[in-house]
Amino acid sequence: MSHQLQDYNPSGVGQVNGNLLGLPFDYESAKLIVFGVPWEVTVSYGAGTANGPQRVLDASTQLDLFDLDNPDGWKQGIFMVEIPQDILEKNAYYRDRAAEIIQRLEQGKPLTATPDLTPVLTEINQACQQVNQWLFEKSKEAIENGKRVAAIGGDHSVPLGYYQALALSYPNFGILHIDAHADLRDAYEGFEFSHASIMFNAMKLPQISKLVQVALRDISHDEVQTIDQSNGRIVAYYDPVIKQKLYSGMAWVEICREIISHLPEQVYISFDVDGLDPKLCSSTGTPVPGGLELEQAFFLFRELVHSGRKIIGFDLCEVGDAEWDGNVGARIVYKLSNLMDLSQQS
């Protein structure tokens, strides 16, 4: 691999070699291991994000590697593990079963009506737990091998196993969460590991001392109550409030520094692309008008690094099954990879 690296030209044509960005690394030589998790069983609006990891991978070879924040960032070694096809196949099966449950609930009928769907719900919750366990074991193994880890979803339920693995190594870390939704629902639609419940489940981990949510704009009464009653453990930056400040003349840098001030030294970034303006990710599962520009998000992450905090991991979720969404997603993954590397150099 070192010989390959010696001959590698970062300005050359991106090689379609099965790895992100066509980089010449494998599991052993890479510092960052990326897991694609093609899972979206519980999505309640638009489907297609299970193909997000593949879309990101396909688009990534078109990216140029020079990064203004970390020009040599690619040299850290980035390797994307082969996307597990068995998970993708199970996703297709369980997605259809979940649709039966969602349809029943939308009709206002109980799951116990004929035919009784409660056993189906149990089966789906078990399948989701198995995916969580898979990512937990893979992440834990990589961390024990001295690697950094990133995850690409699928829907936003997928990174839970990774959070659990990080919690074994970091007794106190915060999550910076970019999303249109708070994802603080308790077992939404009966699905214990729903995409709308990821942060509710994350908050069960005592190691996560802070959750700072940015760009929220589609939220339930119960979730607002959860935030308000969290004693400051959850801090919300609602998109309309951010916009009001910006339109009143407040600088984005001031808002970013305030957001960052709530976070501890070790920070995990959870990025749902629907936190962005939907023109950037129109095929995402649950698009919502409003949101951040891509460079606004990158500026926030950059300020996080400049503050001296360390990025210990990240996930990118809800990338839609479209070429453009994959292109945007690949840029987010590469930027976060380089900023995480930069934050851990100091």
264 DSSP 8-state letter:
-
Residue (of 207, 213, 218) closest to 270 by Cα position:
213
Percent of the chain exceeding pLDDT 90 equals 95
Q: Write down the pLDDT at residue 106.
A: 93
> pLDDT tier at 3 (50, 70, 90 boundaries)?
low
Residue 5 reports pLDDT greater than 80 = no
**What superfamily would CATH give domain 33-344?**
Ureohydrolase domain (3.40.800.10)
Binding residue positions = 156, 179, 181, 183, 272, 274
- 7 pLDDT band, cuts 50/70/90, is confident
Residue 43 has pLDDT above 90, yes or no: no
The answer to whether residue 44 scores a pLDDT higher than 80 is: no
Tell me what pLDDT residue 328 has.
Answer: 98
The encoded tokens of residue 197 equal 């419940």
Cβ pair 185, 152 in contact under 8 A: no
Domain regions of the chain by residue span: 33-344
How high is the pLDDT of residue 206?
Answer: 98
Global pTM reads: 0.97
From 24, 57, 19, select the one nearest 38 (Cα to Cα): 57
pLDDT at 346: 64
Average pLDDT of 166-174? 98
pLDDT value at position 4?
Answer: 66
Closest CA to 147 of 62, 25, 6: 25
pLDDT at residue 271 greater than cutoff 90: yes
The rounded mean pLDDT for the chain is 96
Annotated binding site for Mn(2+): 156, 179, 181, 183, 272, 274
Task: Kindly indicate the confidence band of residue 313, based on its pLDDT and cuts at 50, 70 and 90.
Answer: very high
CB-based contacts of 310: which residues, under 8 Å, 6+ apart? Answer: 265, 266, 267, 343, 344
CA distance linking residue 30 with residue 46, whole number of Å: 35
pLDDT above 80 for 2: no
On the question of pLDDT at 261 being above 60, the answer is yes
343 pLDDT more than 80: yes
The pLDDT assigned to 250 comes to 98
- The pLDDT of residue 57: 98
pLDDT digit string, tens, across residues 96-147: 999 999 999 999 999 999 999 999 999 999 999 999 999 999 999 999 999 9
